[in-house]
Amino acid sequence: MKKNQLPLLLTSGVAILLISTGVAAYFLVQRRLLRGRAVISAQLVPEDVLLTASISTDTEQWQKLQKYGTPETKAALQEQLTKLKDRFLKANGYNYQEDIQPWLGETVMIAYLASGTPAEAPLFKPPDLIVLPIEDPVQAKQLLAKANSTRQLRARNYKGIRIQETKQNQSQQFTAAVLGRFLVVTQHSQTMEQVIDTYTGEPSVAATPGYNKALSQIKVSKPFAQLYLNMPAFSATLAANSGRSLSPENLAMAEQKQGIATKVTLESGGISFRSISWLKSDSTFSHRGENRNSNLAKRLPADTMLMLSGGNLEQLWRNYLQGAESNLLTPVPPDTLTEGLRGTLGLDWEKDLLPWMGGEFLLGIVPASDDVLAIPNDSQFPQLGAGVVLMVLSRNRSQAEKSFQQLDEVMATRYQFLVEKTELEGKTIVRWKSPLGGISATHGWLENDVAFLTFGAPITSSFFPQPEALLTQTPLFKKVVPTKPNPNNGQFFLNFEGTLNSSNLNLPPLPPQQQPLAEAINGIGVTAAVSDERTTRFDIFVQIMSSDLKRDAETGGRGDAEK
């Protein structure tokens, strides 16, 4: 499937990938509740798989999924489904009610193999294999018999198991075999042989250390899907496609993580992802630090666009150092950060800053007020629509004051900023003004030794000395930021509508095919915690426009599941 054929909702993309195989198609909106077949299906998938997804075939679940989105995204999704249904079911002589529904089980597993995914990312192509549970073997055999009569197939045996393959062109070929109570479908003969090897005794993903334990620890009712990401395979694939090389030592470090397991639930307000990540049993890494909820989010104004908070900045930094060299997703190497700070501001991160700012922290993006945006802009830069604020619970106020004094001196002498003390609401703050205009910054103190630094548009009055309305009391924040795990060691909030869909931030436009999806998302929330030295947990909630969401807004509720 080409990239421009992807549907507008990620989870619906999984359905369309299933449809595109020409065998498993439109059944996904037709079946019963998800129960326990996922682990059994996993016993057929090779251990070195990159990604698996076990998806419910429950009718009610798929009806709920189809309620998400704007009229534009719903129409686009329905158009895709109809085209694919006609192309791959009707065109091949299949009828869902007659050929598929009678024998299909409760969950379908799709998988992407590490060996089959180097050129293209998962979900941008059909899966490498599909495992379909068979509830009625007789009816399933009738489907294969019908395929024999309507298509050119050839049969062969591998390890005593009969395999049927098409003789059509490369884009339309498929390979199928019945393994016990499952029908396995792939587009590659070699992949089918790998599955049969697994079926006859080679290690499966179900035997991965920690796999079953992680899934059992995620307590949800009626999950729509279960996902597994094989981190060693992911690291190797990422290294092969990134253009960056890892030394053998760093590659070994990258493979210390074992996997991430996720259960997906569909709620009336959006989609919830409850996840656990774990390290290998022989990993030399460990998750350090205790879970300490940060209260700094209560100091942000209600119109905050983005918030990232944590209970221990020092530990976050240590963890960043521990895996940065081996993590190809690391946005900025630690040395680049520390050297950049030293070169631009003359401050040593480890000696001058971290000792006093290693506890609770918060990073936020706050929009400029309407009166600020209304002021004529006579600077050389575009008018900034928002500012960034950093808040830190100080461990040592005198040391913090010394660091701020150093900053003031550097900004005044090296960059010719106007540095002045001023009064705001009867309290003293320090303001920096750029000689070129367009950029301003402030720093000062909030109650209880909380230091703050702002940069960008002037936003200090929105939270200093305290906001008129709190971010944490807004309906969107309360709905999207999960309350569990509790205690936690970090939270994230993004007002999607106010940020990516805002006209005041001077952000580059999204590609046309992605814009409808962005307009359908209201907000994203994340809460994370360390479970033990080997395990972390994180919950994600994505609020999507839907008819149920409108009803919740009227009643003040979030949805039908506990956060």
Sequential DSSP letters for 70-112: -HHHHHHHHHHHHHHHHHHTGGGT--IIIIITTTB-SEEEEEE
Does 532 map to a domain? no
Inform me whether the pLDDT recorded for 211 exceeds 60.
yes
In this structure, the answer to whether residues 122 and 233 fall within a common structural domain is: yes
Q: Are 205 and 211 in contact (CB under 8 A)?
A: yes
In this structure, the answer to whether residues 330 and 248 fall within a common structural domain is: no
Least confident of 113-127, 233-247, 265-279: 113-127
Find the mean pLDDT for residues 522-537.
94
What pLDDT was estimated at residue 115? 67
Final residue before a domain boundary, out of 246, 263, 280: 263
Inform me whether the pLDDT recorded for 11 exceeds 80.
no
Inform me whether the pLDDT recorded for 261 exceeds 50.
yes
Can you give the pTM of this predicted structure? 0.85
Higher-scoring residue by pLDDT: 76, 401: 401
Q: What is the DSSP string of 389-458?
A: EEEEE-S-HHHHHHHHHHHHHHHHHTS--EEEEEEETTEEEEEEE-TTSS-EEEEEEETTTEEEEEEES-
What pLDDT was estimated at residue 267? 92
319-369 pLDDT, tens digit per residue, is 888 777 777 677 788 899 999 999 999 999 999 999 999 889 999 999 987
In this structure, the answer to whether residues 111 and 221 fall within a common structural domain is: yes
In this structure, the answer to whether residues 242 and 347 fall within a common structural domain is: no
Final residue before a domain boundary, out of 491, 517, 544: 491
139-174 pLDDT, tens digit per residue, is 777 776 666 565 667 889 999 999 988 766 555 577
Phi, psi of 515 (to 5 degrees): -60, -45
In this structure, the answer to whether residues 154 and 7 fall within a common structural domain is: yes
What pLDDT was estimated at residue 147? 62
Confidence at 31, pLDDT banded by 50, 70, 90: very low
274-301 pLDDT, tens digit per residue, is 999 999 988 888 887 778 889 999 999 9
What pLDDT was estimated at residue 475? 96
Question: Which amino acid type is present at position 16?
Answer: I
In this structure, the answer to whether residues 120 and 253 fall within a common structural domain is: yes
Alpha carbons 379 and 367: distance in angstroms, whole number: 19
Alpha carbons 81 and 76: distance in angstroms, whole number: 9
What pLDDT was estimated at residue 157? 95
In this structure, the answer to whether residues 254 and 313 fall within a common structural domain is: no
Count of domains forming the chain: 2
Does 301 map to a domain? yes
Q: CA separation (Å) from 47 to 42, 115, 228?
A: 9, 12, 11
Which residue range(s) make up the domain with 388?
A: 289-491
In this structure, the answer to whether residues 416 and 301 fall within a common structural domain is: yes
Q: Are 518 and 510 in contact (CB under 8 A)?
A: yes
Q: Are 70 and 519 in contact (CB under 8 A)?
A: yes
Crossing angle of the two packed helices 334-345 and 313-324, in degrees rounded to 10: 120
Does 556 map to a domain? no
Tokens of 364: 């936020």
Find the mean pLDDT for residues 465-479.
96
Residue linked to tokens 């791959």: 88
What pLDDT was estimated at residue 517? 80
**8-state DSSP, 325:** T
Does 378 map to a domain? yes
Q: Coil, helix or strand for 349?
A: helix
Q: Are 81 and 19 in contact (CB under 8 A)?
A: yes
Does 372 map to a domain? yes
Does 87 map to a domain? yes
Q: CA separation (Å) from 472 to 296, 298, 344, 562?
A: 10, 6, 35, 18
Least confident of 248-252, 253-257, 266-270: 248-252
Phi, psi of 397 (to 5 degrees): -65, -40
- Of 450, 80, 457, the closest CA to residue 297 belongs to 450
Least confident of 167-176, 194-203, 469-478, 488-497: 167-176
In this structure, the answer to whether residues 309 and 438 fall within a common structural domain is: yes
**End-to-end Cα distance, the chain:** 35
Inform me whether the pLDDT recorded for 397 exceeds 80.
yes
Does 548 map to a domain? no
Alpha carbons 535 and 279: distance in angstroms, whole number: 7
Inform me whether the pLDDT recorded for 555 exceeds 60.
no
For the ranges 28-32, 103-107, 504-508, the one whose mean pLDDT is highest? 103-107
Alpha carbons 116 and 49: distance in angstroms, whole number: 9
Q: Are 134 and 142 in contact (CB under 8 A)?
A: no
What residues does 367 pair with on adjacent strands?
386
In this structure, the answer to whether residues 359 and 229 fall within a common structural domain is: no
Least confident of 239-253, 256-270, 411-425, 474-488: 239-253
Does 521 map to a domain? no
In this structure, the answer to whether residues 294 and 252 fall within a common structural domain is: no
CB burial readout 88-105, b (16+ within 10 A) else e? bbeebebebeebbeebbb
In this structure, the answer to whether residues 251 and 392 fall within a common structural domain is: no
Higher-scoring residue by pLDDT: 436, 14: 436
Higher-scoring residue by pLDDT: 528, 168: 528
Report the chain's mean pLDDT, rounded to a whole number.
81
What pLDDT was estimated at residue 24? 32
Q: Are 255 and 231 in contact (CB under 8 A)?
A: yes
What pLDDT was estimated at residue 273? 97
Q: Are 382 and 368 in contact (CB under 8 A)?
A: no
For the ranges 174-178, 240-244, 413-417, 438-442, the one whose mean pLDDT is highest? 413-417
Crossing angle of the two packed helices 71-88 and 10-19, in degrees rounded to 10: 10
- Of 166, 138, 28, 143, the closest CA to residue 94 belongs to 143
Residue linked to tokens 């702002």: 454
Q: What is the DSSP string of 174-237?
A: -EEEEETTEEEEES-HHHHHHHHHHHTTS-BGGGSTTHHHHHHHS--SS-SEEEEEEHHHHHHH
Final residue before a domain boundary, out of 449, 473, 491: 491
Confidence at 36, pLDDT banded by 50, 70, 90: very low
